[in-house]
Structure 1
Amino acid sequence: MASALLALILLPNLAFSQNEKQLSLEECYEKARDNYPLLRQMELIEQTKNYSVENISKGNIPQFNINGQATYQSDVTGLPVDIPNIIIEPLAKDQYKIYGEIVQPLTDFGTNSHQQAIAEANAEVESKNLEVELYQIKNRINQLFFGIMLVDGQLLQTALLKKDIQTGLDRANAGIANGIALKSDADQLKAEMLNADQKTVEMEANRKAFMDMLSIFIGEELDENTQLIPPAPRELDDEINRPELASFAAQKESFVLQSELVNKRNNPHFNLFFQGGYGRPGLNFLSNDFEFFYVTGLRLNWNISNFYTSSREKEIIQLNQNAVQLQEETFLLNTNLAMTQQKQDVLKYLKLLQTDDEIITLREKVKTTANNQLEYGSITANDYLMYVNAEDQARQNQVLHRIQLLMAQYTYQLTTGN
């Protein structure tokens, strides 16, 4: 009997009809991830990164500016001497200028490429943090999936319990007909059958509630005929591959790039420029005529004040790196503690299952004997039910331990990220 129940629980293909929809745990993981609204943020992160990188790359192409001004000044340049027979027109105090400037950076390519790398690294950090949040979905799927499996196992066992009660009721009715049993024995068995029916109603309601929640998670309609494919037992892998570790690594890489960018900003910057415009005065500041003009050349810009703050900026970045390192160490400590507890849970359920079969065999023998005794009036229906319930409890424990073992194994693998 125990092996038959195990086959129904762990070998679903033997029990499911072709019309029943089947769903595996891995399929639930994938569908829940695809259906989760937060996943759409991944595309937004990618688009934002592409726009940022594209904008930064524009710093490598010539930059064009248009400037203009109109001024009036209190005094203008004049000659301090008078030249006989020569009249020099004084400069106008109202002056006008409009000009365009084209600047081609020569030394900013390295800085811009570094800024692009930082934009990509920051997007990677956001992406990895999102993966951490999405990973938590698996734990919620586990709770629903194994919860449904447990209810399915309990429903199967309750069906076996009702079969035993019906067998006892048939024996009791036979005893009543032969005058060796009381009608109250049959009534007690009928009451116990009704209790089993109520348990079935409760469990079916619980299964529907779990199935409805799973349906919402995976974005797919599920009904009472949907059958879950029990996952195969898992070997425990102690290597930690959680997405949190990838997030910590991405943050560290971003800080390294930021520190390198601080150094590059301290370097002198050269660029070619060309200015062309129209105004009064032009390049000849002694002329009162509107003129076209242009200026071209090589320009140097070196912000020495960056040296005053760069060391502090690096220290702040280093402090942030240290904070991430502490977060990673704390995460690994807590993960290892959880792994230790969960591994003990796996070992505990393995040991419990080793004795479950033996307990069920002994309880079944006692029940079979009680069944015969009930037929001949040697025991009451109450005595018989006590033995039936004892066997039922043993079988329920076995179902529970099998599901708990599977869930403990998969919880351990979720904890390690494998």
Structure 2
Amino acid sequence: MRAALAADPRRRQIDIAAEQSALRLRNLDAERLPQLAAAGQAQYQSDVPRVPLALPNVRVPSPPHDTYDAHAEAQLSLLDPTRAARRGAERAQLAETQAGVRASLFALRQEVVESFFAAAALDARHATLAATLVELEARLRDAVVRVRGGAALPSDTASIAATLLQRRQDLLQADADRRAALARLAELTDAAPDTNAPLALPDLAAAAARARASLDSVRARPEYAQLEATRERLARQAELQTARERPQISAFARAGYGRPGLNPLATAFDTYWLGGVQLRWTPWTWGTAAREREAITLQREVVDANEAALTRQLRRAVEGDLATIDRVAATMALDDGIVALREGVERETRARLGEGVVTAAEYASREAELLAARLARDEHRVALAAARARFLTTLGLEIP
């Protein structure tokens, strides 16, 4: 299961989201440093200020109509209540994004479960058919001996040989289906399984029983983590909205060269500088902050509704698996008895075939009934393990 999740290309999105968030957090850290800028301007204005004073032999200069300014400025944030809140919101956004990726990857776990147990069912079918072939080959050898001794007809040999060929066809089909299932499983896990080794069914009885006993309290699905991450993001957004209503203080400085400088009546180019502290506060926002908080509260209600809907959906989804577990478990209690009875009938028919009392066709019918009983037992055994695995996977629990 972990191999399939690790091999999925979408898992890279988790690391990409973390890298993106780290870059944005570095940008927030950079806001603590002085922000530097440079600007320049040249303009011509139609009028300039004049001194309304006329003195004999005194000429009061008037500023030029064309002005020029080039300056560099620096600004340093001294108090910004939103910075910590924005960092918290960014981390919450990252957690929500990563939780969303994990939720999207969850469907892969269900696909792996289906592929594994499909291969396991074919594996069990292959083993049963192979054992049946060995038995039929022995019966065919006995029939050939009897025909040569005049104790049986050639049709008896033909009947057993035809049944043997049919079982070989079944085995070839099971082999092909098994290889296809293993190839699908290998594609999911990005690892080549051993096609010669039988697949071992996990013992999930205890895990399924524990999960069933605590069904109402299980919250292991990644969608629950995603919803919780959404709640955390909304909480951080509410904190950020509150922080934006608090005062912000910054220091600034500016140095430049132009005409005029800081003296508006000057007619020559001059250097200048200035500095100070700036306060920015918007206590009155015409209700926008309150509406934003109300929108966040409504979004929390949406999250709560989605969580309740998810819980009900999962409860409906596992009902089928629970019914399958109960049905197959009850059926399996009868399988061994059915197989034992069929084996007894097959042994008796085999003995009667050796005595020439029954035909090979009748023996082939009894052998087919025994094979069907054995295949049904194998199918039920795999189906029970598969139903338990689906039940655990639907709840989001790990398969031991």
- Output one character per residue of 1:260-285: Cα deviation in whole Å (capped at 9) or x when no partner: 21121122222111122111111211
In structure 1, the partner of 2:18 is 46
Report 1:62-73 matches (<5 A).
62-73=34-45
1:126 aligns with 2:97: yes
Provide the C-alpha distance between the structure 1 equivalents of 2:196 and 2:369, rounded to a whole number of angstroms.
Answer: 30
CA contact under 8 A between 1:280 and 1:289: conserved in structure 2? yes
Provide the C-alpha distance between the structure 2 equivalents of 1:341 and 1:32, rounded to a whole number of angstroms.
Answer: 26
Report 1:95-106 matches (<5 A).
95-106=67-78
Using the TM superposition, give the Cα deviation of residue 319 of structure 1 relative to its aligned residue in structure 2, in angstroms.
Answer: 2.8
In structure 2, the partner of 1:167 is 138
In structure 2, the partner of 1:281 is 260
Number of residues paired by the alignment? 389
In structure 2, the partner of 1:17 is none
Letter matched to residue 96 of structure 1: Y
TM-score normalized with structure 2 length: 0.92
2:112 to 133, 141, 157: 141
Report 1:169-318 matches (<5 A).
169-222=140-193, 224-235=195-206, 236=208, 237=211, 238=215, 239-303=218-282, 306-318=285-297
Report 1:14-33 matches (<5 A).
29-33=1-5
SS at 1:275's partner residue?
Answer: strand
CA contact under 8 A between 1:265 and 1:306: conserved in structure 2? no
Using the TM superposition, give the Cα deviation of residue 168 of structure 1 relative to its aligned residue in structure 2, in angstroms.
Answer: 3.0
Report 1:287-366 matches (<5 A).
287-303=266-282, 306-366=285-345
Letter matched to residue 250 of structure 1: A
- Output one character per residue of 1:358-409: Cα deviation in whole Å (capped at 9) or x when no partner: 1111111111000011111111112111211111111111101111111111
SS at 1:296's partner residue?
Answer: strand
CA contact under 8 A between 1:91 and 1:288: conserved in structure 2? yes
Provide the C-alpha distance between the structure 1 equivalents of 2:130 and 2:389, rounded to a whole number of angstroms.
Answer: 28
CA contact under 8 A between 1:121 and 1:254: conserved in structure 2? yes
In structure 2, the partner of 1:87 is 59
Provide the C-alpha distance between the structure 2 equivalents of 1:369 and 1:148, rounded to a whole number of angstroms.
Answer: 35
Provide the C-alpha distance between the structure 2 equivalents of 1:115 and 1:104, rounded to a whole number of angstroms.
Answer: 18
1:57 to 29, 32, 41: 29
SS at 2:79's partner residue?
Answer: coil
Provide the C-alpha distance between the structure 2 equivalents of 1:85 and 1:304, rounded to a whole number of angstroms.
Answer: 56
CA contact under 8 A between 1:103 and 1:272: conserved in structure 2? yes
- Output one character per residue of 1:8-51: Cα deviation in whole Å (capped at 9) or x when no partner: xxxxxxxxxxxxxxxxxxxxx12212211111122111100100
Mean Cα deviation higher: 331-340 or 162-171: 162-171
CA-atom RMSD, angstroms? Answer: 1.7
Structure 1: state its 5+ residue gaps: 1-28
Letter matched to residue 120 of structure 1: R
Provide the C-alpha distance between the structure 2 equivalents of 1:172 and 1:48, rounded to a whole number of angstroms.
Answer: 76
In structure 2, the partner of 1:115 is 86
Provide the C-alpha distance between the structure 1 equivalents of 2:134 and 2:195, rounded to a whole number of angstroms.
Answer: 22
SS at 1:81's partner residue?
Answer: coil
Using the TM superposition, give the Cα deviation of residue 178 of structure 1 relative to its aligned residue in structure 2, in angstroms.
Answer: 4.1
TM-score normalized with structure 1 length: 0.89
1:401 aligns with 2:380: yes
CA contact under 8 A between 2:71 and 2:256: conserved in structure 1? yes
